[in-house]
A and B are shown apart, each in its own frame.
Chain A
Amino acid sequence: MSASAAGRPILRITGAGGGATLQDRGRYGAMRYGITPAGPMDPLAHATANRVLGNPLGATAVEVGLGGLAVAVEGASLDVALAGGAFRIDCDGRPLPPACALTLRPGMVLSIRAGQTGAWCYLAVGGRIDVPAVLGSTATHTRSRLGGLDGRALAAGDGLAVVEPRARLGEPASLGAPWMDRPPGTIRVVLGPQDDFFAPSEIAAFLDRDWTVTARGDRMACFLDGAPLVHACGHDIVSDGVAAGAIQVPGQGLPIVLMADRQPTGGYPKIATVIGPDLGRLAQGQAGTRLRFRAVTLAEALEARRVEAAALEPDIALEPVVRTDFTSEFLLGRNLIDGVVG
């Protein structure tokens, strides 16, 4: 251990609006025993924040939801990186772009609040957040009280020890990660596994209709509103496996997309499955977001995976933050919310 106890930073949660959890890439390998994988709602944003800091892509980071979070460091300086939706980031009153990195020094307070778009923001640290793994993972699943800090959401006052810390970034920089700018728009799906529970006309309707993300969603599922779908042969199936992004259609006909905290098995027909690269984009949709589904082939889904993997291969460029560097979208977002551009 090179870091002395005195030199080891603690990331202190100074304010928590609810829904912030620790997530690594997820708890895999025990779905056969009923264990939910959990992991980040937007894996690409989670990986991006880790990538900037040189961490393994699946390292433990803080996932911040619409409730927001404020943090400070104690004991030593620490590099941090943020990526995700268009959250309002503020360091000691200075607004920062939603995807940024900086060295947080003791005494500074970093505040992360929901913005106009986006539902999840990831805060990664330069080093390793020291929490015990449960079944090989630190991912928090609050329903089964596994992982993270005692299986619960982070609360004001919590302290996260960081081992092998780094503090070399200095002043705030924005991330050259254009793939983080993702309007919800069209979500690509692979039909099935139970598309044969729906008449062709209903599958066409599923793909033709607009769907609206409702406020009912959480880490387990995204509930959509729209004109209900009709099953051709009932809505009860004998339980089978449930993949990430599975779109269940229960009896009332409104689709439910199963997300990171899904149960690994379930008993409603699944008309289609959101492809891996689009699930994080769907997760970032706030209530009221309208979207459509588009059916793609496995080959198209694979190509999207390759594009996503390739984006994270080169180093991510860091551009110093100056006021003129703010995107018009960012300025507009602040303007609409605050009334005044800071």
Chain B
Amino acid sequence: MKAPDPEPADRPRFLDAGEAALVVEFGAAVDPAINDRVLALDAALGADPPLGLAETVPTYRSLMIHYDPLVLSRAALVAAVEGRLAERGAARGAGRLWTIPCCYDPALAEDIAEAASLAGLAVADAAAFHAGALYRVYMYGFAPGFAYLGGLPEALALPRRSSPRAPHPPGAVMIGGGLAAIGTMPMPTGWYVLGRTPERLFAPERDPAFLIESGDTLRFEPVSADTFAGLERRAASGEVVAGRAA
């Protein structure tokens, strides 16, 4: 009995999640190189999906492939995956770079004083550290449009709360467990609310409903509470207020 290999192997592991989902596992850790391989395979399958592939879910370290086993056999799916891996190697297209407005005013950043204190920082420094970093969108999960971000500065690496706080506000920009996140709809959370963005990562009535793809890069641009209020009105009317490059 041994623990799964924490190092990325050359050949991924193929793990069945029932008869209609296959996990292609590239590693066991939160690691940009592993995530690159996940996203490269995801892109290759998305560009030319085998008949019977239903949808794919990229995560930090694996790609879950949902499929119809009465149309696509497991063996044919594994062969298709291995074929894509052989063609494309570990390369993936560069993601887009987004500038996400974020207000760190304690009136909106409900937990910034608490988080700064736990990290041994002044509130202004906590905001500056957070806004000074570049973040990779590793994956979505937990709730619609809830994005898990890597790249949080060490100075802000706090464990998650031992018990959840009250539901976070919409657009909460959060930290916890050494990661950052952007929340959409209010949910109880073990993370700390460090700021708020007027941008909506998920807006079901907007086209596109989801702005940002796994593998994109984000930076946060500090805005005042007044600017936040104006941007929030524009976002509510369907406008995209985040900036996008590349």
Interface residue count on the A side (C-beta < 8 Å)? 52
Instruction: From known contacts A238-B28, A240-B25, A276-B18, infer whether A144 and B144 are also in contact, taking CB-CB under 8 Å.
Output: yes
Q: Which residues of B (109-165) have their CB < 8 Å from a CB of A?
A: 139-146, 148
List 14 A-B residue pairs with CB atoms under 8 Å apart, sorted by A's residue number.
A32-B58, A32-B140, A34-B142, A193-B15, A194-B15, A238-B28, A239-B59, A240-B60, A240-B61, A243-B18, A264-B57, A265-B57, A273-B18, A305-B19
A241 within 8 A of B: yes
Q: Which residues of B (63-82) have their CB < 8 Å from a CB of A?
A: 63-64, 66, 69-70, 74
Name B210's closest neighbour in chain A (CB-CB).
A33
- Encoded as 1 (CB less than 8 Å from any B CB) or 0, chain A from 271 to 307 comes to 0011110000000000000000000001001100110
Q: Which of A23-31, A96-104, A161-169, A212-220 contacts B (4 or more CB under 8 A)?
A: A23-31
CA distance A275 to B70 in the complex (A): 13
Q: A193-B15, A301-B18 are in contact. List 7 more A-B contacts (CB 8 A).
A: A28-B55, A194-B4, A237-B28, A244-B18, A270-B17, A298-B16, A301-B69
CA distance A199 to B3 in the complex (A): 11
B99 within 8 A of A: no
Q: Which residues of A contact B57 (CB under 8 A)?
A: 31-32, 241, 264-265
Instruction: From known contacts A33-B202, A238-B61, A241-B64, infer whether A144 and B17 are also in contact, taking CB-CB under 8 Å.
Output: no
| Of the residues A146, A199, A240, contact of B59 by C-beta under 8 Å | A240
A233 within 8 A of B: yes
Q: Which residues of A contact B28 (CB under 8 A)?
A: 237-238
Binding site for A on B (CB under 8 A): 1-4, 15-21, 23, 25, 28-30, 54-64, 66, 69-70, 74, 139-146, 148, 185, 202, 204, 209-210, 214
Question: Does the CB pair A144–B30 fall under 8 Å?
Answer: no
Q: Which residues of A contact B185 (CB under 8 A)?
A: 144-145
A18 within 8 A of B: no
CA distance A234 to B4 in the complex (A): 11
CA distance A187 to B111 in the complex (A): 45
Question: Does the CB pair A146–B54 fall under 8 Å?
Answer: no
How far, in Å, is A297 (CB) from chain B's closest CB? 9
Instruction: From known contacts A31-B55, A135-B209, infer whether A240 and B1 are also in contact, taking CB-CB under 8 Å.
Output: no
Question: Does the CB pair A240–B144 fall under 8 Å?
Answer: no
Binding site for B on A (CB under 8 A): 28-36, 134-135, 143-146, 190-194, 196-197, 199-200, 232-234, 237-246, 263-266, 270, 273-276, 298, 301-302, 305-306, 309
| Of the residues A134, A246, A263, contact of B204 by C-beta under 8 Å | A134
Question: Does the CB pair B144–A35 fall under 8 Å?
Answer: yes
Question: Does the CB pair B64–A192 fall under 8 Å?
Answer: no
Question: Does the CB pair B17–A265 fall under 8 Å?
Answer: no
| Of the residues A32, A190, A233, contact of B16 by C-beta under 8 Å | A190
Q: Which residues of B contact A239 (CB under 8 A)?
A: 59-60, 139, 141, 148
Nearest 5 pairs of A and B residues by beta carbon: A241-B64, A273-B18, A265-B141, A193-B15, A301-B19
Question: Does the CB pair B144–A146 fall under 8 Å?
Answer: yes
How far, in Å, is B146 (CB) from chain A's closest CB? 5
Q: Which residues of A contact B62 (CB under 8 A)?
A: 240-241
Q: Which residues of A contact B1 (CB under 8 A)?
A: 196, 199-200, 232-233
CA distance A336 to B139 in the complex (A): 51
How far, in Å, is B179 (CB) from chain A's closest CB? 11
How far, in Å, is A202 (CB) from chain B's closest CB? 10
Question: Does the CB pair A32–B214 fall under 8 Å?
Answer: yes
Question: Does the CB pair B144–A273 fall under 8 Å?
Answer: no
Q: Which residues of B contact A264 (CB under 8 A)?
A: 57, 141
Q: Which residues of B contact A36 (CB under 8 A)?
A: 144
